[in-house]
């Protein structure tokens, strides 16, 4: 080894171990340039790099005076600037830049083959441990600006940019400095977040590309800023031309998805203001919208904001999960949240809550999102909620007003359908009467009945094709289809419904009775079809807005009665079998079916006591004592207790029945309106063969305005004419309550602001009182530091 090697190696060792005084002494005693230029260790580290790593400015100044090259790099391409930035040493970085440090140097330029690990090369000189503790580069090709941005040091970033650093320099993976901004940053640390905002501001002002995509994550810096929730950084990036709707490669998430999923409300608002309202419901790879993401994480404020900006509550993922499904599954109180969202759509036009004569504005954009059928949200709400108690949301004034206006548009089709069904019911009933009438001489109207039956079957088929899961589970669908099929079958059966006069005369002369013209199976089928048809007619009446819920109350009472009968079915069968044994000679009890029917009839009060227990003069009763005992028990248990129990349960809660009937009426009305909307908007009616006037008529009946204004002075208005007076009054009450809440919140915010201003004024006065003492202390510290530095320099000299 050369004689100068021990001295240079000693210098490197003392600098690496931070023996500053000894290093200065070595430099003072040796004037040969080779002493401080010699590199050592497997990575060929120099004294300049070690001094920068240790943050010793005095050593760097001495080395520079001796002619050391501050841009020299080791085998990994690391320079003194690399180490200074690694330790975030602003003073060293500033000095290096002032003395010509290369701001665009990249690590790895002077390295050995990249597939050779560091540890293998570091063992090439086992006796020289210099540089083994130095930080290794994370990625080849990174510049000092990459390091400074990743370290979140805005002051160093500014110095590098001002010194001419390339703001769009890429490492070997294609990552630019801006993509490293905020890496591994804790968003709860406000100080670090302020630094992040400043770094983004510096790079954006230097015209750094803000839309570069990270090769590994497929994200841009806007996605990262949304993840951190930096409103300031996002504003600056958007001003610099960042794409707010850019979708991550692989996931398809946008900055909106990320901000909504993380619950950053202010960040979300900035992004929503920057995008077109039509794009609020943009979907990721699996079909989730930002509203889905907010609902999954229970960020209720974000849900409200997204809905206000046009979020679609009926949007579905690829697996069929709607936003309402996500809210019901993941939000703590979904129905109160939905109620608040609906409440916010009814506002006073101006003035305060105490003023009278104010108009109100009703906004239906929540229920009628852009780009979808207007009934899509209501249908999603009905499909997501299974319990009738939760469907009270349909009684919200906004929903009822919406359904009333939609009904006013589409009711002409409903009345047309009711007219056709009424013709069907009357024809079917008349057909049955013709079959049993002995002397009628009119022909059976089978042709018209067949047409009506085909119309009903076609309507049922359309319903099932459009919404199979829903309509196949509906009892009405099966009733209507059964009636139509039976009517179609019997209408195609050839039946001679009348006999000629000659045949009638011959029959009368011979004394023969007229035989039934129709086959028994036809009579059975017609009787069932007539009953089902009139039941279906009753259910149709249930869709009328004013008095339809009375028909639906019938179904509710029927369910209660059936529940009681099922609970006491054993008692009924027991009495029926007992009567069949006791009165086995009676024609009404000669088989089990007759016994059960007779027992049920007796429960209504038709006991026929005289027929069951004949007097001794007529006929001696069988088992008189046992029969009378069982009969008395039947009267007490079945007729008195059971019947009164059923009546009491059926009418115990009239108001509850009316409320449930009202909800069911709204439910049926909403389902039918949605069905009519789907039919009228079908592409079939947009073909060329459809007349333009018919297309225009259908278009005029499809949609309603999403924003209406209701006058408070009671003047005639088309919207108020279509909405019931009680509902209009409920809307005005809701608007007044919303205005009162808004005014109280504004007063509270104003008082809080005044309190904060008073606190700031008091803090300002305290600073003024403390400031002179602090200033004098700082001045004395500066004087002491200057004296100490002068003393150390004199000692070194």
| Domain 561-652 grouped into CATH 1.10.287 | yes
pLDDT at residue 3 in the model = 47
Closest CA to 206 of 149, 246, 151: 149
Q: In terms of pLDDT, which residue wins out, 319 or 553?
A: 319
Band of pLDDT at residue 513, cut at 50, 70 and 90: low
pLDDT at residue 152 in the model = 93
Mean pLDDT, rounded, for 338-355: 76
For 72, the 3-state DSSP assignment is coil
Residue 536 clears pLDDT 80, i.e. is over it: yes
Q: Distance (Å, rounded) from C-alpha 460 to C-alpha 463?
A: 5
Structure pTM?
A: 0.74
Residue 235 Rama label (left phi>0; alpha psi -120 to 50; beta): alpha
Band of pLDDT at residue 260, cut at 50, 70 and 90: very high
Q: Distance (Å, rounded) from C-alpha 796 to C-alpha 525?
A: 120
Among the residue ranges 66-75, 119-128, 239-248, the one predicted with the least confidence is: 119-128
Cβ atoms of 404 and 723 closer than 8 Å = yes
Residue 493 clears pLDDT 50, i.e. is over it: yes
pLDDT at residue 391 in the model = 78
In a 13 Å sphere around the CA of 209, the CA atoms on its Cβ side amount to: 12
Mean pLDDT, rounded, for 565-571: 82
Q: In terms of pLDDT, which residue wins out, 20 or 238?
A: 238
Q: In terms of pLDDT, which residue wins out, 504 or 450?
A: 450
User: Per residue in 206-236, pLDDT tens?
Assistant: 999 999 999 988 999 999 999 999 999 999 9
Please state the domain extents for the chain: 1-137, 210-332, 365-540, 561-652
For the chain, percent helix, then strand, then coil, each to nearest 5?
65, 0, 35
pLDDT at residue 351 in the model = 52
User: Per residue in 298-312, pLDDT tens?
Assistant: 999 999 999 999 999
pLDDT at residue 428 in the model = 87
What tokens were used for 157?
A: 């970033």
Going by the DSSP 8-state scheme, the letter that residue 548 receives in this structure is T
pLDDT at residue 514 in the model = 53
- One fold for 1-137 and 561-652: no
User: Per residue in 35-54, pLDDT tens?
Assistant: 566 666 667 888 788 888 88
Going by the DSSP 8-state scheme, the letter that residue 82 receives in this structure is H
pLDDT at residue 225 in the model = 94
What tokens were used for 253?
A: 């998430």
CA dihedral for 111, 113, 115, 118, sign (positive or negative): negative
Mean pLDDT, rounded, for 677-704: 81
Mean pLDDT, rounded, for 82-92: 90
pLDDT at residue 297 in the model = 94
pLDDT at residue 639 in the model = 78
Superfamily of domain 210-332: Ankyrin repeat-containing domain (1.25.40.20)
pLDDT at residue 126 in the model = 46
What percent of the chain has pLDDT above 90? 25
Going by the DSSP 8-state scheme, the letter that residue 640 receives in this structure is I
Among the residue ranges 172-181, 512-521, 590-599, 657-666, the one predicted with the least confidence is: 512-521
User: Per residue in 349-363, pLDDT tens?
Assistant: 765 544 555 788 899
Give start and end residues of each alpha helix (H) in 684-724: 692-702, 718-722
Mean pLDDT of the chain: 79
Among the residue ranges 381-385, 492-496, 679-683, the one predicted with the least confidence is: 492-496
Cβ atoms of 52 and 96 closer than 8 Å = yes
Q: Classify domain 1-137 at the CATH class level.
A: mainly alpha
Band of pLDDT at residue 789, cut at 50, 70 and 90: very low
Mean pLDDT, rounded, for 330-351: 87
pLDDT at residue 441 in the model = 43
**How many other CB atoms sit within 10 Å of the CB of residue 796?**
12
pLDDT at residue 717 in the model = 56
Q: What are the two backbone dihedrals, phi and then psi, of residue 406, each rounded to the nearest 5 degrees?
A: -65, -40
pLDDT at residue 240 in the model = 94
Residue 792 clears pLDDT 50, i.e. is over it: no
Q: What are the two backbone dihedrals, phi and then psi, of residue 94, each rounded to the nearest 5 degrees?
A: -60, -45
Mean pLDDT, rounded, for 417-434: 86
CA distances from 694 to 246, 390, 680, 691 (A): 42, 39, 10, 5
């Amino acid at each position: 080894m050369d004689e100068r090697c021990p001295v240079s190696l000693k210098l490197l060792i003392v600098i690496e171990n931070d023996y500053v005084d000894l290093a200065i002494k070595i430099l003072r005693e040796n004037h040969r340039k080779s002493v401080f230029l010699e590199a050592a260790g497997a990575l060929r580290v120099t004294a300049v790099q070690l001094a920068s790593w240790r943050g010793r400015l005095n050593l760097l100044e001495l080395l520079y005076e001796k002619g050391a090259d501050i841009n020299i790099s080791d085998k990994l391409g690391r320079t003194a600037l690399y180490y200074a930035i690694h330790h975030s040493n602003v003073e060293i970085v500033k000095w290096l830049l002032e003395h010509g440090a290369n701001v665009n140097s990249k690590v790895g330029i002077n390295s050995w083959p990249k597939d050779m690990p560091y540890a293998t090369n570091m063992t090439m000189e086992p006796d020289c441990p210099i540089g083994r503790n130095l930080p290794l580069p994370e990625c080849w090709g990174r510049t000092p600006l990459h390091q400074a941005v990743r370290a979140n040091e805005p002051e160093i970033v500014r110095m590098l940019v001002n010194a001419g650093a390339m703001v769009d320099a890429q490492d070997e993976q294609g990552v630019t400095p801006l993509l490293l901004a905020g890496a591994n940053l804790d968003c709860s640390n406000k100080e670090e977040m302020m630094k992040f905002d400043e770094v983004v501001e510096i790079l954006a002002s230097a015209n750094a590309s803000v839309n570069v995509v990270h090769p590994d994550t497929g994200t841009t810096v806007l996605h990262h800023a949304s993840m951190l929730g930096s409103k300031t950084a996002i504003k600056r990036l958007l001003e610099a031309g960042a794409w707010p709707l850019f979708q991550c490669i692989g996931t398809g998430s946008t900055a909106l998805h990320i901000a909504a999923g993380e619950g950053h409300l202010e960040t979300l608002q900035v992004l929503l203001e920057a995008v077109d309202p039509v794009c609020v419901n943009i979907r990721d790879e699996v079909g989730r919208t930002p509203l889905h993401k907010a609902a999954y994480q229970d960020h209720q404020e974000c849900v409200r904001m997204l809905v206000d900006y046009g979020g679609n509550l009926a949007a579905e993922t690829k697996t069929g999960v709607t936003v309402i499904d996500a809210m019901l599954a993941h939000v703590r109180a979904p129905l109160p949240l939905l109620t608040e969202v609906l409440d916010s759509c009814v506002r006073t036009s101006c003035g305060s809550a105490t003023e009278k004569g104010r108009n109100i504005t009703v906004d239906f954009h929540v229920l009628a999102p852009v780009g979808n059928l207007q009934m899509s949200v209501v249908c999603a709400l009905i499909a997501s909620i299974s319990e009738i108690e939760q469907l009270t949301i349909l009684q919200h004034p906004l929903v009822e007003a919406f359904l009333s206006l939609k009904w006013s548009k589409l009711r002409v089709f409903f009345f047309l359908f009711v007219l056709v069904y009424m013709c069907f019911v009357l024809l079917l009933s008349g057909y049955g009467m013709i079959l049993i009438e002995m002397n009628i001489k009119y022909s059976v109207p089978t042709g018209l009945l067949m047409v009506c039956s085909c119309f009903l079957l076609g309507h049922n088929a359309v319903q099932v094709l459009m919404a199979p899961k829903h309509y196949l589970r509906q009892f009405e669908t099966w009733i209507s289809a059964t009636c139509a099929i039976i009517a179609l079958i019997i209408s195609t059966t050839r039946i001679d419904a009348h006999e000629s006069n000659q045949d009638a005369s011959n029959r009368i002369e011979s004394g023969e009775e007229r035989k039934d013209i129709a086959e028994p199976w036809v009579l059975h089928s017609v009787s069932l079809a007539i009953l089902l048809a009139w039941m279906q007619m009753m259910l149709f009446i249930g869709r009328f807005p004013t008095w339809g819920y009375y028909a639906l109350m019938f179904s509710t009472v029927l369910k209660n009665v059936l529940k009681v009968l099922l609970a006491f079915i054993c008692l009924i069968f027991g009495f029926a079998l007992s009567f069949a044994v006791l009165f086995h000679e009676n024609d009404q009890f000669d088989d089990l079916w007759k016994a059960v029917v007779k027992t049920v009839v007796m429960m209504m009060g038709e006991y026929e006591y005289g027929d069951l227990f004949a007097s001794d003069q007529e006929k001696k009763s069988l088992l008189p004592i046992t029969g009378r005992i069982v009969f008395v028990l039947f009267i007490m248990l079945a007729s008195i207790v059971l019947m009164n129990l059923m009546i009491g349960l059926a009418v115990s809660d009239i108001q509850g029945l009316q409320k449930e009937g009202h909800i069911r009426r709204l439910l049926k009305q909403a389902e039918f309106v949605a069905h009519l909307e789907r039919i009228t908007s079908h592409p079939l009616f947009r073909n060329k063969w459809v007349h333009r006037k018919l297309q225009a008529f259908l278009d005029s009946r499809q949609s309603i305005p999403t924003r209406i204004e209701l006058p408070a002075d009671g003047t005639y208005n088309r919207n108020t004419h279509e909405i019931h007076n009680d509902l209009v009054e409920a809307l005005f009450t809701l608007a007044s309550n919303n205005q009162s809440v808004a005014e109280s919140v504004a007063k509270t915010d104003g008082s809080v602001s005044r309190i904060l201003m008073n606190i700031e004024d008091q803090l300002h006065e305290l600073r003024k009182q403390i400031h002179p003492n602090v200033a004098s202390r700082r001045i004395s510290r500066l004087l002491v530091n200057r004296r100490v530095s002068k003393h150390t320099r004199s000692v070194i000299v």
